[in-house]
Amino acid sequence: MRSSLAVTIGVGATAAVVVAALVQAAGDNPIDAALSVSVPADYQALIEKAGHACPEISPNLLAALLKKESEFDPKARSPVGAQGIAQFMPSTWESHGIDGNGDGKRDVWDPEDAIPSSARYLCTVAKEVKDVPGSQQSNMLAAYNAGSYAVRKAGGVPPIRETQDYVRTITALAKQPTGAGKTATTTQAATAVNAANAMLGTPYSWGGGNASGPSTGICCSPSGRSGQSITGFDCSGLVLYAYAKAGISLPRTAAAQYAASEPLKPGQVRPGDLVFYGSSAAGIHHVGIYVGGGWMIDAPRPGTQVRYSPMDTMPDLFGVARPVPDHSKEI
């Protein structure tokens, strides 16, 4: 994702400065990490990386396991003594915990150590039960929960209700459609950002743009400018097109797009979210696509082109919201 942004944006010195800001912002919450389980932003990159530790696991499987184990609580402690986000027993941590962040310590309470340790331990038990009949994934998960010896002795998932429920729950969570939540997924957001990037330099056209791309517009803007002879986008036309590329159908106007999105708090904002301007929900008059570092891609006004603009480009920032694929809200 970072390299594709850099290649697409490369349109001059000013854009290069923006690229640096985007790469920095994306580092905290990469928008190419789409998981089937809702994962706190602090752990997304850790899970994406650790989830490729061996062929037997995946980021989705690891995320599902951590959700089942602790609900992503790094301070979780079970009644039987399991500790941390991955719920290691002290003896298991002693033999299988690793220094994931290279700080010279193996700390079960530190997700930067516990998450990669969890992935490595899954890989270890997968090898230990690889010859056991049945589903290799189920046997691996059962071994994580009950131990490899119990799986080998039972010839598969042991007849322990807790372990059987454990395997079923994690398997179901890992098989959820990516981004099964109600708002746009990070993959869809990345697709929308890249689609908008590809339109940099396209002329502004009042009423221009649709799901297929740039189009001639209509007459006339509040300043009297017509888009009838210009092939391009207005602000909401660009958003409509970008999210159509991501498989999300949005309404045509900026106000209606806000109504079709979920409002966000400042700490929730990520690249691909929509930035709205106006005095009220019904009075929204402009929209852009947030790309990180306080910047957005937008089609500003007649006489301009699709470009990067700072979020404070207008004084009436109303809010930031994330598109909802199946929307029914009204203003």
* Residue whose C-alpha is closest to residue 239's, from 215, 272, 283, 217: 272
CB contact burial 270-294 (16+ within 10 A = b; e otherwise) = bbbbbbbbbeebeebbbbbbbbbbe
Query: Residue 199 and residue 214: Cα distance in Å, rounded?
Result: 9
CB count in 10 Å sphere of residue 306: 26
Burial class (CB in 10 A: 0-12, 13-18, 19+), 79: exposed
Q: What is the pLDDT of residue 177?
A: 56
* Residue whose C-alpha is closest to residue 42's, from 20, 21, 27: 27
Q: What is the dihedral of CA 180, 243, 296, 277, to 10 degrees?
A: -90
* Residue whose C-alpha is closest to residue 200's, from 245, 233, 244: 233
CB count in 10 Å sphere of residue 54: 14
pTM of the model: 0.50
* Residue whose C-alpha is closest to residue 235's, from 195, 192, 275, 295: 275
The type of residue at 254 is A
DSSP one-letter string for 271-301: TT-EEEEESSSTTEEEEEEEEETTEEEE--S
Structure tokens at 91: 């003896």
Query: Residue 15 and residue 144: Cα distance in Å, rounded?
Result: 48
Q: What is the pLDDT of residue 182?
A: 67
Residues 216, 230: contact at Cβ < 8 Å? yes
Per run of 10 residues, the mean pLDDT along the chain (length 331 residues) is: 32 39 38 55 85 91 92 92 96 96 96 97 97 95 96 96 92 67 78 93 96 94 93 97 92 90 87 94 93 93 96 94 66 35
Q: What is the pLDDT of residue 174?
A: 83
Q: What is the pLDDT of residue 172?
A: 85
Residues 308, 17: contact at Cβ < 8 Å? no
Q: What is the pLDDT of residue 176?
A: 64
Element housing 319 (H / E): strand 317-323
Structure tokens at 108: 């079960």
Q: What is the pLDDT of residue 29?
A: 36
Residues 86, 74: contact at Cβ < 8 Å? no
Q: What is the pLDDT of residue 253?
A: 93
Phi (first) and psi of residue 118, to 5 degrees:
-60, -45
Q: Which neighbouring-strand residues pair with 178? A: none
Phi (first) and psi of residue 187, to 5 degrees:
-65, -45
- Coil, strand, or helix at residue 257? helix
Query: Residue 187 and residue 323: Cα distance in Å, rounded?
Result: 13
Q: What is the pLDDT of residue 187?
A: 82
Residues 149, 126: contact at Cβ < 8 Å? no
